[in-house]
Amino acid sequence: MLSRLVFVSANGLKSSGALGAGLVQASRCLHTSSQSLAPVPPLPEKPGKVRHGLIPEEFFQLLYPKTGVTGPYMLGTGLAIYMLSKEIYIINSSTLVALTVGSFFIYGVKKFGPSFAEFADKLNEEKVAKVQEVKDLAVTGLAQAIDSEKKEQWRVEGRSLLFDAKRNNVTALLETNHRERLHMVTNEVKKRLDYQIALQNLHRQMEQEHMVNWVEKSVISSITPQQEKESIAKCITDLKALARNTQAKATA
Amino acid sequence: MAARRVALKAIDWVAFAERVPPNQRGMFNALKTRSDAIAAKLASLPEAPAAIDWSYYRSAVARIGMVDEFEKKFKALQIPAPVDTQTSTIDAQEAEATKSALVYTEACKARIAQYEKELDKLKNMIPFDEMTIEDLNDTFPETKLDKVKYPYWPHKPIADL
């Protein structure tokens, strides 16, 4: 009963701006219009603020203008005393059980709550990270694919170079062939002419040699034996005179 | 027999080498070595043959008229230029290559468009924190569980879990 009152007033209080820092209270106006929202607005990060784990903060803010800070506490205490004294709430064994279980429960939540919350958050984060990784890989892969396609297109543009090279080769080969032919003709003609000249030179040389030999032979055959003896004797006397002269020069 | 002017186009081998894809590098190297050999051979031959000194030969050779005859015949000789059989083939090859290059470029462009579309889809998708399972199945169709083929939870073969 009281909780319904709280919820109705909470909606009205959202615009009062009296909310604590760090709240992400997006206005989740679901089912307000006939169209459904897509994408669904995100869930708030943190739950609504609650005091003592049970009573929402909005209740305290509701009573603050009229009764100040201690108002809700006085209300609570007064209500508790009223219910106990008028025996609207009866203390029996269930009370003890409730108190014990409640204390254990509160102790458990306080001790293990944060670590369990962390564990649950980690599980969720791992799932998200996995999917995120897949998405990142896909994005980088696609970007790379686009780059390589563009590169291939650029490569294809260079095909004219290949054909230019081929045509160059053909021209060069033809030109080489032509020049070789020219050179060959010139060389052949030169060789023929040089052959003629060499032939002539050979003839002349042979004639010269033959003549020289013939002249020598005839001179030698014309020397008589008597002339030979005379010439040898003259050589000997000349040699003796020469020897005497050199001896005289040496001693002098 | 006048010497011919050579009409060789200067080829930028460096730029050419950049455009060669890695899987055709062997062919490119073979072409380059061949071209270099041909160019070297061409460069090694002088453009015109050495002129023959007719006056010297006229004075040296004893046979009268032989030199004159040779000179006359030599000057009248025309060496025909070699016939070019390959250029038309090369031109035909080039036309074909242009056509196939066009086709390839078109295919490339289509692929690029497809990739860009997917890239846009991925870039503009809602963040994972704000997705529902239906949104996930829309963005990544492969995550959709086939409830017809595997009607019982977990709707995929146990090995895939």
> A134-178, pLDDT tens digit by residue?
889 999 999 999 898 888 888 888 788 888 888 888 888 888 888
Note the pLDDT of residue A15.
Answer: 38
SS3 content of chain A, % helix, strand, coil (to 5): 80, 0, 20
Query: Residue B70 pLDDT more than 60?
Result: yes
pTM: 0.56
Kindly indicate the confidence band of residue A115, based on its pLDDT and cuts at 50, 70 and 90. very high
* Closest chain B CA to residue A203: B62
A35-62 pLDDT, tens digit each? 766 666 777 888 888 888 889 999 999 9
Contact B90 A162 (CB under 8 A): no
Q: Is the pLDDT of residue A31 over 80?
A: no
Vertex A60, ends A58 and A65: CA angle to 5°?
105
Asked if residues A28 and A44 have their Cβ atoms less than 8 Å apart, the reply is: yes
Rounded-to-integer distance, Cα A88 and Cα A239, Å = 180
| Contacts A159 to B, Cβ<8 Å | 94, 97-98, 101
Calpha distance B12→A165 (Å, rounded): 10
Which class for A62: exposed (0-12), middle (13-18), buried (19 or more C-beta within 10 A)? buried
Region of A22 on the Ramachandran plot (φ > 0 left; ψ -120 to 50 alpha; else beta): left
Q: Residue B15 CA to chain centroid, in angstroms?
A: 12
Contact state of B97 with A197 under an 8 Å Cβ cutoff: no
All residues of chain B having their beta carbon less than 8 Å from the beta carbon of residue A171 are 6-8
Which pLDDT tens digit goes with each residue over B91-102?
A: 888 889 889 888
Are the C-beta atoms of residues A155 and B19 closer than 8 Å to each other? yes
Q: A50 has which bridge partners?
A: A56
ipTM score of complex = 0.71
Q: Hey, are the CB atoms on A193 and B61 less than 8 Å from each other? A: yes
Token readout for B33 is 């070595």
Q: Identify all chain A residues contacting B21, using CB atoms and an 8 Å cutoff.
A: 152, 155
Q: Which pLDDT does position A152 carry in this prediction?
A: 85
